[in-house]
């Protein structure tokens, strides 16, 4: 028997410590929360994705009375980005959440399904996809998707 220890690296920033470009991406994710359709959870999530061609795509969670039919902000954004700009690499994704009249004080991280989707787009892009998880009190920055999802499923094991 042997043991494997996996390491998740998270850099913690305040908003003012971010670069201007990262502040802009976070601001766009925060704005996207206001376009969520979340009558059931009342938990608005927004995402902003920087692409290698310089475009920034935003999205929000879109719920449905038939719950599984809704989609998280991260997947809304990724699917729109890849269907609008097929073959363009994903560079950086910012995520923010708004609930009970305020942005969450701590970062909100993607659900498991979204992590798997992010992992695939990172893999086909051929370079690490940075993730910025916004919280009003602290911001987490992860340098690649594997820090969100260790032991990622791939078909080429």
Q: Which positions are catalytic?
A: 74
- The answer for residues whose C-beta is within 8 angstroms of residue 107's C-beta and 6 or more apart is 95, 133, 134, 135, 138, 139, 140
Between 24 and 70, CB nearer to Zn ion: 70
Does residue 111 belong to the site contacting Zn ion (CB under 5 A)? yes
3-state helix, strand, coil in the chain (%, to 5): 30, 25, 45
105, burial (CB in 10 Å: exposed 0-12, middle 13-18, buried 19+): exposed
Q: How far apart are CA 7 and CA 25, in angstroms?
A: 26
**Which residue in this structure is represented by tokens 């009970």?**
100
Of 49, 93, 108, 114, the residue at the interface with Zn ion (CB under 5 A) is 114
Q: Which of 18, 32, 45, 72 binds Zn ion (CB under 5 A)?
A: 72
Over the window 17 to 56, marking each residue x when it contacts Zn ion by CB under 5 A and - when it does not, the resulting string is ----------------------------------------
Q: Tell me which stretch binds Zn ion (CB under 5 A): 48-56, 60-68, 85-93, 103-111.
A: 103-111
Shortest distance in whole angstroms from residue 36 CB to Zn ion = 13
Stretch that binds Zn ion, among 4-12, 21-29, 34-42, 114-122 (CB under 5 A): 114-122
Taking the C-alpha atoms of residue 94 and residue 134, their distance in angstroms, rounded to an integer, is 7
d(CA 119, CA 130): 11
* Identity of the residue, 72 or 93, whose beta carbon is nearer to Zn ion in the bound complex: 72
Q: How far is the CB of 1 from Zn ion (least distance, A)?
A: 35
Interface with Zn ion by CB under 5 A: which residues?
Answer: 72, 111, 114
């Amino acid at each position: 028997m042997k043991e494997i220890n996996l390491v998740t690296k998270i850099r913690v920033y305040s908003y003012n410590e971010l670069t201007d470009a990262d502040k802009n991406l976070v601001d766009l994710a925060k704005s996207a929360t206001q376009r969520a359709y979340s009558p059931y959870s009342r938990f608005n999530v927004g995402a902003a994705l920087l692409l290698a061609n310089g475009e920034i795509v935003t999205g929000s969670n879109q719920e449905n009375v038939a719950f599984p039919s809704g989609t998280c902000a991260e997947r809304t954004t990724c699917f729109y980005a890849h269907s609008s700009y097929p073959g363009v690499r994903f560079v950086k994704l910012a995520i923010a959440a708004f609930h009970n009249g305020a942005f969450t004080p701590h970062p909100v991280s993607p659900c498991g399904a979204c992590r798997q989707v992010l992992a695939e787009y990172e893999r086909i892009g051929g370079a690490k996809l940075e993730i910025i998880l916004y919280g009003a009190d602290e911001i987490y920055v992860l340098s690649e998707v594997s820090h969100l999802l260790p032991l990622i499923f791939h078909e080429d094991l």
